[in-house]
């Protein structure tokens, strides 16, 4: 395992309240050295969404930083046969969910608060993506721009069942009704998957304040045109959302893969890998 991923990944994180909301209930976090990013879009009463998203990013990031400092994410978990990254993320998200839920239950001003979550951990030439709700992760690879995550929302369920055509989804009244959220219930199901990473890939995490305001095609063109300047790309994406109305908070995290980042293994692990 390399000691830092900051030379292999370029990361830019931005969040903006938008043009309508007085408070920013989104939160973003990036750890370039350990190669993970987190984005949360809070929901709830006055200030409660801000508390939920803030708790999500801070608690989860602290737990992951501690865990991955003690054990590398590529290590194989003996109980599940999957990477330590998988088990760790699922465990730490569950812990974070409980903390937010308990705060909502014990403090009346936070009753009903919750947050979406999308997190990406880069290690050993792959990325593990975990998400809850309708915040998204897109990947730009060459000319192909695609959503890696699938929304946990009533609208997505209606599209999947054929009740609504995908092209008509933007006009739906159910656009922002999520079917999963962090902190709302005592337990939550986290969707988690692994994907191979290639140098040149650009990953975009965003809250719905971006993709509700800007078409995917426009997002793709912007990221492609400004791929050499992620700072400007992030600024431009937020500006586009605000120019189109900015009805919600808007957050973006851009991650560009600059080079390969294979894990450094001991001689025994290398020997086992050679015989496989």
Its pTM stands at 0.92
List, in sequence order, every residue forming a beta bridge with 76; answer none if it has no partner: 83
Q: What is the pLDDT of residue 165?
A: 63
Query: Of the candidates 64, 72, 80, 81, which has an alpha carbon nearest to the alpha carbon of residue 117?
Result: 64
Q: Is the alpha carbon torsion for 106, 109, 113, 117 positive or negative?
A: negative
Residue identified by tokens 């969040």 is 15
Cα separations in angstroms, 129 against 25, 57, 166, 224, 269? 22, 15, 24, 22, 25
Each residue's pLDDT tens digit in the chain (276 positions)? 335 799 999 999 999 999 999 899 999 999 999 999 999 999 986 679 999 999 999 999 999 999 999 999 999 988 888 999 999 999 999 999 999 999 999 999 999 999 999 999 999 999 999 999 999 999 999 999 999 999 997 776 676 676 776 655 565 556 678 999 999 999 999 999 999 999 999 999 999 999 999 999 999 999 999 999 999 999 999 999 999 999 999 999 999 999 999 997 654 444 444 444
pLDDT of residue 2: 39
Task: Spell out the alpha helix ranges (H) of the chain.
Answer: 48-70, 84-106, 154-161, 208-211, 216-225, 230-243, 267-275
Rounded Cα distance between 9 and 161, Å, is 38
Per-residue pLDDT, 163: 72
Residue closest to 40 by CA, chosen among 21, 22, 61, 19: 61
Q: What is the DSSP string of 55-94?
A: HHHHHHHHHHHHHHHHS-TTSBPTTTSSBHHHHHHHHHHH
- Classified by CATH at the fold level, domain 9-275 comes out as Phosphatase 2c; domain 1 (3.60.40)
Which pair of tokens denotes residue 243? 């120019």
């Amino acid at each position: 395992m390399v000691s830092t991923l900051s030379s292999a990944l370029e990361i830019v994180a931005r969040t903006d309240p938008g043009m309508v909301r007085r408070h920013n209930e989104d939160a973003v976090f990036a750890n370039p050295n350990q190669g993970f990013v987190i984005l949360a879009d809070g929901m709830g009463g006055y200030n409660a969404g801000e508390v939920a998203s803030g708790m999500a990013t801070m608690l989860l990031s602290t737990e992951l930083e501690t865990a991955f400092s003690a054990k590398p994410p590529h290590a194989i978990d003996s109980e599940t046969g999957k990477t330590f990254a998988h088990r760790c993320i699922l465990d730490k998200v569950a812990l974070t969910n409980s903390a937010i839920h308990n705060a909502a239950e014990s403090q009346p001003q936070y009753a009903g608060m919750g947050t979406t979550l999308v997190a990406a951990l880069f290690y050993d030439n792959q990325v593990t993506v975990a998400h809850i709700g309708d915040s998204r992760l897109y990947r730009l690879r060459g000319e192909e721009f695609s959503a890696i995550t699938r929304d946990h929302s009533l609208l997505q369920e209606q599209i999947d069942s054929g009740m609504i055509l995908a092209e008509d989804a933007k006009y739906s009244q159910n656009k922002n009704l999520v079917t999963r959220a962090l902190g709302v219930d005592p337990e939550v199901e986290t969707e988690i998957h692994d994907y191979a990473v290639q140098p040149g890939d650009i990953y975009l995490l965003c809250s719905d304040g971006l993709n509700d305001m800007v078409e995917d095609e426009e997002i793709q063109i912007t990221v492609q045109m400004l791929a050499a300047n992620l700072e400007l790309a992030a600024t431009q994406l937020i500006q586009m959302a605000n120019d189109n109305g900015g009805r919600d908070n808007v957050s973006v995290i851009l991650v560009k893969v600059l080079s390969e980042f294979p894990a450094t293994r001991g001689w025994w692990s290398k020997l086992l890998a050679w015989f496989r």
